[in-house]
Every structure is written in structure tokens, then in C-alpha cells.
Amino acid sequence: MSTLLLVVGVIIGVAYFYHQIVVKGKRCISKAKLHGKTMIVTGSNTGIGKTTAIDLAKRGARVILACRSKQRGEAALEEIKRESGSNQVVFMQLDLGSLMSVRSFATTFLKSEARLDILINNAGVYLQGRTVDGIGLMFGVNHLGHFMLTNLLLERLKECGPSRIVNVSSMAHNFGKIDFDCLNTHKALGVRESFMEGLKVYAHSKLCNVLFTHELAKRLQGTKVTCYSLHPGAINTELTRNASSVFLMLLRPITTFFFKNTVQGCQTSLHCALQEGIEPLSGRYFSNCTVKEVYPKAKDDAAAKKLWEISERLCGLA
């Protein structure tokens, strides 16, 4: 019995330290105050986007909540104002699955807001299907909508420099690859509708985020705009809200103990947005508030350039 209790005690102790050190992770240590600065956070009505917006508002920033759902966005607006104690928070509707909506958002923003200092491309979906433009949903929302949004707002970011672009990716990008033939033919990163295919397509879309950041940094050289991609950690958020109830039930014990909460999960986004002195690391990938090396496929110059050109064509920006 004593041996069993010892083993159980060791397991509990190891699990506790794993949770405290690995799961919780590092925190953004920047004390930056943001009065007079304007930020956009996409997908900020829920999850790490919302906690990111709350932190930025507490620091004095004017924060634009760019969200698809008007109802959920306006509810988040009131909650963020209440938690941050700031009235400098604004909701603007943005559906990243509609190129028309992205263009409309950018036009409205540029007319109504004089500044843009930080753009945080945070929104993401894990759901198969097609956008209203006939583009693969995860490619369209996770990459293409943000690609178009960034390009439409780039001149304002340059005018307000030093400024930053933060692209929320995932360690799932390590398992991704881009089939350019499929992308050209089907406007999607995969065409089969299955659970495993969905996981693959999500990983492919996250690789797009890292390659986009890599190419964007090159094109921003000589400006006062820098950009970063990141893995926020495994987060217990609503990203999988469209998954099956059985899958969610099986996942619950894992997410409860091994996944970060949203406050822990937004720390690397805040680090990339605010940390002083990381400008020379523009184009790099961060995890746990630390710059990380990526596999060659995630910094492939030819692939990044090709993805950029296809994205320009699909957005009508070419």
C-alpha cells in the first residue's frame, strides 16, 4: 500500500509541476502603455482574442473588435469595456470568409480611424466547407481573409510606424504542407470531407500563416512595420465548437488539465505585439514568448512567394 501511495504521489507531483511550468508557460513582461495607439484584433469576441483585447484596452489602447457575428461582437464589446474599464473599445463587423466583407471593413476603418499601430490577425476556424466566394473555408478564413485585410491596411500601418502585424498560427503548421496544384484547381488546401482531412487542412492553413509572415517581412524591409507569427499554446477555447459532441466529450479531460486558459494563451500574442526590442526578429515564429526555429518548409522562400502570388490573385489584389 505504501508503495502504491508513493507512486500516486509522484504522479500527482509530476503532473502538478508539468501544469505549472509547461502548460501555464511564460507571461508577456512588457509594461508598455498604449494611450493614443489603435489596435485591431480579429476574432476578439471570444477566446484568446477577447483576452488579448482586454489587456490592450487596460493599457489605454483604442481597440477595434473585428468579429463576424454582430450579436456576439456587441456582447463582447460590453464585457471588454466592463473588464478593462475603458470606453476606447469599438466593434466593427468583419467576416473573413467574405472578401467583400474584408474590403468593406477596411474601407470603413480607414475612413473612421486616423491610426493603426498594431494589427493582430487572431481569428481562426476549424471547420470544413466553402466561403461565400467558393474558397476552402479554413484556407479562406485562417489565411486569405487575413492576407487581404493586412494588405488593405498596410499603408496606414506604414504611416503610423513603428507598427506591428501579429499572425496567430499554431504548432500544427509543423504537420502542414501546401499542394499548390490543389490550391490553383480547387481554391482549397484539400477537397475530401473527413475528420482526418479536416485536421490536415487546418495544419496546412497554419503553415500558410507562417509562410505569409516570412514573405511579408521581406516586403516590409526598409519600413517601420514588423511582423511575427506565433503558436499560442494548446488553448481551451471555442475553436472546436463546430466539432462533433462525441469528439468534444473525449477531448474534455485533456483540455481541462493539459490546455492553457485564455489568459495564459494570449501571452505570446501580447509579447509579439508589445515586447520592446524584437524588431530585428521580424518575420520569425514565436512560442511561449520566445523566438523559435522552424522547419525549412516554413521558411521556404519560393513557397512563400508562390503563396503570396496565388493569394493576391484570389483576392483580386494582383
pLDDT tier, 318 (very low <50, low <70, confident <90, very high otherwise): confident
What's the confidence (pLDDT) of residue 3? 64
The mean pLDDT value of the chain amounts to: 90
* Residue 99 near residue 148 (C-beta atoms within 8 A): yes
Distance CA 221, CA 297 (A): 22
pLDDT higher for 262 or 70? 70
Distance CA 122, CA 238 (A): 13
- pLDDT per position as a tens digit, 58-86: 999 999 999 999 999 999 999 999 999 99
Q: Is pLDDT above 70 for 149?
A: yes
Looking at residue 294, what is its pLDDT?
98
Distance CA(145)–CA(224), nearest Å, equals 23
Residue 185 has pLDDT above 90, yes or no: yes
pLDDT greater than 60 at residue 8: no
Q: Where are the domains of the chain?
A: 34-315
Q: Classify residue 130 by its DSSP letter.
A: B
pLDDT band for 250, please (50, 70, 90 cuts). Answer: low
pLDDT of 19: 45
d(CA 280, CA 296): 20
Indicate the pairing of strand 285-287 with strand 290-292. antiparallel
Reply yes or no on whether the pLDDT at 87 is more than 90: yes
Domain spanning 34-315, CATH architecture = 3-Layer(aba) Sandwich (3.40)
**Set of cell numbers at residue 294:** 522552424
- Average pLDDT (164-192) is 96
Is 168 a residue whose pLDDT tops 90?
yes
- On the question of a cis peptide bond just before residue 162, with omega within 30 degrees of 0, the verdict is yes
**Active-site residue identified among 126, 202, 228, 285:** 202
**Annotated catalytic, 18?**
no
Predicted TM-score (pTM) of this structure: 0.89
Report the alpha-carbon distance of residue 172 to residue 46 in Å, rounded: 21
What pLDDT, on the 0 to 100 scale, is given for residue 20?
47
pLDDT at 194: 86
pLDDT at 1 over 60: no
Q: Are 285 and 169 in contact (CB under 8 A)?
A: yes
Q: Compute and round to an integer the Cα radius of gyration of the chain.
A: 20
pLDDT of res. 10: 47
pLDDT score at 263? 87
* pLDDT > 80? residue 245: no
Give residue 254's pLDDT: 55
Q: Is the pLDDT confidence value at 309 over 60?
A: yes
pLDDT at 299: 98
How sure is the predictor about 4, in pLDDT bands with cuts at 50, 70 and 90?
low
User: H or E segment at 62?
Assistant: strand 62-67
Q: What is the pLDDT of residue 13?
A: 44
Calculate mean pLDDT across residues 97-123: 98
Identity of residue 267:
Q
